[in-house]
Structure 1
Amino acid sequence: MELLCIKVKKGRLNGIADTFNTYVVLKVQNLKSTTINRRGSKPCWEQDFMFEISDVKKGFIVELWKKGLIWDRLLGILWIPLKTVEYATDEGSGAWWMLHSEVIKNGNEICGTKTPTLHEILLDVYFALLPDSDCRSHYRRASLQGACHSRQGTYSSLSSVNSALSVQEKEQSNKDQVYISSLAKARWTRAIQK
């Protein structure tokens, strides 16, 4: 399991009146989380979300919605592949992402977005990196995952290394859970203080 941390920071919305309220919806695997409504063309949400990820080969969806009197309207959508998400110990400044108006599907599954809108959203997205001794195994695992995605032919030679990492991961699972719990408590405390 990996711990995906997403901070929805700000938006730059083109052509949106200052009287409109907008919110962001995150769809990660089978979970859906929503920010609070913020008014204006430069909304500031500053909300933290955490998700346990079991399959890093997929991606997640970010949707920007305009609150309406009867119906809400989708302003933009973004699909971010999990294999592009980096590991970090704490949040950073984030990156601006251009939202799109259409999704690309492979069967029933979304695998991308197209047709850019003029709306952007500032997100800080990272996998929580465990401290000290655990760091090395997570860096190695991230490197191995990248190697497996880019070099399918070398997968068999990496399988013995992968199985050794699996044993190491099982031994560290209790430490991981304690750290994840303390990370969640620290983020919750920061959110309450704001």
Structure 2
Amino acid sequence: MELLCIKVKKGRLNEAAGTFHTYVVLKVQNLKSTTIDRKGSQPCWEQDFMFEISADEKGFIIELRKKGLLWDSILGILWIPLANVEHATDEGPGDWWTLHSEVVKTGSEIHGTKTPTSHEILLDVYFALPFDIHEDLDCRGYHRRTPLLGTSHSRQDTLDSLSSVDGGLHMKEDTLRRNKDQADRSNFAKARWARAIQKI
């Protein structure tokens, strides 16, 4: 199990969407979480979410929705592969993601999105490093597993670059993967939640 941290920061929407109240939906495994709704073409949510996920998960869905009188509708959707999510000790500035209007599926399994919209969302997505690794280390750039096929970057390339920061870090990461002590993970999650609450 790993702790996936997602901070939904803000959005850049087209002018037509500026008259609506919008919110973000996160779908991770069988869980669904939502932000509060905000009005305007540059909504600011600044909300933290954490999910304990299994190692075999492939990705998760982000949806931007607008509130309606009778029902809500989707303005844009994004599928983020977990293979490209980095490990970090704390939140960073995040990245702007362009939302799409269509989902790419193989059977019932989602593996991407296509057809860009004019809406963007700022997200900081990372796997929390364990508390036994020094917090001063900047470990962004170390990926969870091999990136998507079609790229020239390999897991070995990632480990080689990581060794320049701390040669033993990937060995500590392997040790963590073998450690299935749920009590320690629960305590770590509670501590991160407390820090997130203090930032509000």
TM category, shorter: 0.7 to 0.9
Query: Which structure: larger Rg?
Result: 1
User: Is 2:194 the counterpart of 1:185?
Assistant: yes
Give ranges in structure 1 of 5+ residues lacking alignment.
152-160
What is the percent sequence identity of the aligned residues? 62
CA contact (8 A) 1:14 1:119 kept: yes
- Paired residue for 1:132? 132
Of 169, 185, 189, the residue aligned with 2:179 is: 169
- CA deviation string 1:16-69 (max 9, x = no partner): 253310000000000000111100000001111110111344100000011111
CA contact (8 A) 2:82 2:144 kept: no
CA contact (8 A) 2:64 2:74 kept: yes
Once the two structures are TM-superposed, the CA of residue 71 in structure 1 deviates from its matched residue by: 1.9
- Paired residue for 2:34? 34
Give ranges in structure 2 of 5+ residues lacking alignment.
156-170
Distance in 2, Cα, partners of 1:133 & 1:67? 43
- Paired residue for 1:61? 61
CA contact (8 A) 1:12 1:121 kept: yes
SS in 2 for 1:127: strand
- CA deviation string 1:105-148 (max 9, x = no partner): 0110111000000100000000111133489xxx8xx668339x
CA contact (8 A) 2:87 2:143 kept: no
Give the CA RMSD over aligned residues.
2.6
Classify 1:76/1:182 alpha carbon distance in 2 versus 1 (closer, same or farther; 3 Å): same
For structure 1, which segment, 113-122 or 55-64, has the greater mean C-alpha deviation from structure 2 after superposition? 55-64
CA contact (8 A) 2:84 2:143 kept: no
User: Which structure has more helix as a fraction of its residues?
Assistant: 1
Once the two structures are TM-superposed, the CA of residue 92 in structure 1 deviates from its matched residue by: 0.6
Distance in 2, Cα, partners of 1:167 & 1:60? 21
Distance in 1, Cα, partners of 2:177 & 2:129? 18
- Paired residue for 1:114? 114
Distance in 2, Cα, partners of 1:134 & 1:173? 21
Distance in 2, Cα, partners of 1:67 & 1:51? 25
